[in-house]
């Protein structure tokens, strides 16, 4: 790969080359100075790499979508990438196994730090915790239950923290108007003129209505 972290650019580069495969062959037939024509095996390697990187390309495009909410898609796509890398590690092609190693190192750092956060998919009423259980079983096997429990515990902790904050807020809150900040707070003396004016206006309205 040209860069172990810029997977999309590598995919687009190889994809473009594959689309012009016949042109490379014709160039080799007509131009004696063209000496870098890929071999048959080279094209096969390029096709295998392209098929693998296409999964990453589609996932990252969904991540960067700006015209629709994507948070509920993150978990599924990241898990698919994780599963793809697990397959690459045991792939029959040595070059793919070699390519997967630096990619996995970068990805694992992200996975370890963010996989729990990505479990926000549980708030999607369509999936809830079921999607987490499904992917964790595929990724972690017999250890899946412990990872699912971490998600449960994290959500429970988050809920308890919110519940505690809400209870504390209710105890301290007052039915009085709180629209002004402390810097803009008016003292009773400053508002006494308003009170007098309000009482006077109310009396005038009452007197007018009687007449």
Q: pLDDT by residue (tens digit) across 109-123?
A: 877 777 777 777 788
191 confidence band (pLDDT: 50, 70, 90): very low
CA torsion sign for 125, 70, 110, 51 is positive
Q: pLDDT by residue (tens digit) across 131-166?
A: 888 988 888 899 999 988 888 888 888 888 888 877
What pLDDT was estimated at residue 62? 76
What tokens does 13 get?
């580069």
Global pTM exceeds 0.75? no
What pLDDT was estimated at residue 208? 61
Neighbours of 13 (CB within 10 A): 16
What tokens does 19 get?
């689309």
What pLDDT was estimated at residue 70? 60
Q: What is the mean pLDDT of the chain?
A: 75
What pLDDT was estimated at residue 85? 85
Please name which of 125, 161, 132 lies closest in space to residue 146, comparing C-alpha atoms: 132
What pLDDT was estimated at residue 100? 80
Please name which of 78, 73, 90 lies closest in space to residue 114, comparing C-alpha atoms: 78
Higher pLDDT, 3 or 40: 40
Please name which of 105, 104, 98, 65 lies closest in space to residue 81, comparing C-alpha atoms: 104
């Amino acid at each position: 790969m040209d860069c172990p972290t810029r997977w999309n650019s590598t995919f687009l580069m190889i994809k473009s080359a594959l689309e012009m495969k016949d042109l490379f062959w014709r160039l080799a037939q007509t131009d004696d100075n063209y000496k870098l024509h890929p071999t048959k095996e080279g094209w096969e390697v390029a096709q295998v790499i392209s098929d693998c990187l296409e999964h990453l390309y589609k996932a990252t495009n969904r991540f960067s979508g700006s015209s629709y909410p994507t948070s509920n898609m993150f978990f599924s796509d990241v898990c698919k990438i994780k599963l793809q890398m697990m397959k690459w590690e045991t792939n029959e092609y040595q070059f793919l196994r070699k390519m997967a190693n630096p990619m996995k190192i970068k990805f694992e750092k992200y996975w370890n730090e963010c996989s729990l956060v990505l479990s926000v998919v549980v708030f999607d009423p369509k999936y809830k915790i079921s999607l987490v259980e499904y992917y964790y079983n595929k990724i972690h096997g017999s250890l899946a239950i412990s990872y699912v429990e971490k998600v449960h515990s994290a959500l429970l902790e988050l809920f308890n923290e919110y519940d505690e904050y809400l209870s504390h807020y209710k105890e301290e809150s007052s039915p009085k108007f709180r629209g002004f900040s402390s810097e803009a707070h008016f003292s009773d003396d400053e508002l006494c003129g308003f009170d007098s004016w309000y009482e006077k206006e109310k009396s005038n309205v009452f007197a007018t209505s009687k007449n």
